[in-house]
A and B are shown apart, each in its own frame.
Chain A
């Protein structure tokens, strides 16, 4: 798979620790919602580092968007977050990962469960779904520490409602005054309340840190969901 040149068009703040980067990548051949890319940075002495990032944009969007969480001890993400500026170029290749992908032809309700920046591929799925006027129900359950840590907050507010899309926020560390939603880490009880019954044959996607994905996937199997109906994407603390 060839490395392509991608040029930064703009950057925007999503949360204090998360930024989206909008790229122009003329040779990009398209992707499915849920896939990711590899990016490669080269230092002046030739040293190179590569990392994978989920694609935040829908296949129909004009530009490719990556949403990057700045990891404190990261090698690549602090550079992307702090230094990379509009007009800069870097190498990118993809799309990668045909397993954790959703297409409008997918049968059954779409259940998305995100921890932290695990919400990124689901933004692509939600936008793709809306662009294709898909009417099977979709539900995003999204666990973040605080309301300030919710990525795409306005867009998620906006996307809720039409075409049977629901967004359920779970705020684990602090909640705004008057918060009526879930206020603890996702557990079996929350999942039994917010997921469809196994008999409804949902297609479930879980993305987030390893411990989050393990917990959620195990609880879903306990609740009677077929392991084959659950797709997982995990990321570790390195990066």
Chain B
């Protein structure tokens, strides 16, 4: 039974409440959260790599990556620190496109980033049109603070799963914990079930 705070009114969301997972509020700015300094990544050296349990590893340079078919999507994002941002527009390459024709027995992936960040996800969660590697936000090249040149975008999970500065995906035979997942955050991170921390 929750404790009622007498005199607390709060601010009801000005959006359809069904779009807001429990414990979230609508942010109008775009907060930045990361564990360390923003890495500096030169586009000449940037690569996106797919490794691990894969018949033949794949790798793209910046130009090669930008030649892939891209999609522009508008969707809601939910950060574990409680803010949600609705109707955000991103452009990127669907992970389905990157995985096209891949033969693998993998069940999970580890996304890794320039700067050393990692995060784990079930492979199924980045397939079926539910995940992208985004290179633009609001039709502009993705700003480094928000993960540019490229970040993973998996909007149905808390936003730490959408690894900033992503450099690759490793296909794994079993789940392993990434950076925040080792530091107390939930392995899966479904905002609708409020899976923020270990044990949620």
Q: Using a CB–CB distance below 8 Å, which chain A residues touch chain B?
A: 1-2, 5, 38, 40-44, 46-52, 75-76, 79, 83-84, 88-91, 93, 96-100, 210, 214, 217-218, 220-221, 227-228, 230-232, 234-238
Residue ID in chain A nearest B31 by CB atoms? A236
Q: Binary interface profile of B, 81-117, with partner A (CB < 8 Å = 1, else 0)? A: 1110000000000000000000000000000000110
**A residues near B3, Cβ cutoff 8 Å:** 5, 42, 89-91
- Shortest C-beta distance, A178 to chain B (Å), equals 36
Q: Can you list the 5 inter-chain pairs with the closest CB atoms, starting with the nearest?
A: A236-B31, A217-B37, A42-B2, A98-B183, A50-B23
Q: Which of A88, A220, A228, A237 contacts B5 (CB 8 A)?
A: A88
A218 and B37 form a contact (CB under 8 A) = yes
**B residues near A237, Cβ cutoff 8 Å:** 29
Indicate whether A217 sits within 8 Å of B10 (C-beta atoms), given known contacts A90-B3, A227-B115. no
**B residues near A42, Cβ cutoff 8 Å:** 2-5, 8
**A residues near B183, Cβ cutoff 8 Å:** 97-99
Q: Determine if B139 is an interface residue (Cβ-Cβ < 8 Å).
A: no
B31 and A49 form a contact (CB under 8 A) = no
A43 and B10 form a contact (CB under 8 A) = yes
**Distance, CA A1 to CA B32, complexed state (A):** 25
Residue ID in chain B nearest A7 by CB atoms? B3
- Shortest C-beta distance, A47 to chain B (Å), equals 5
List B residues 31-54 near A (Cβ within 8 Å).
31-40
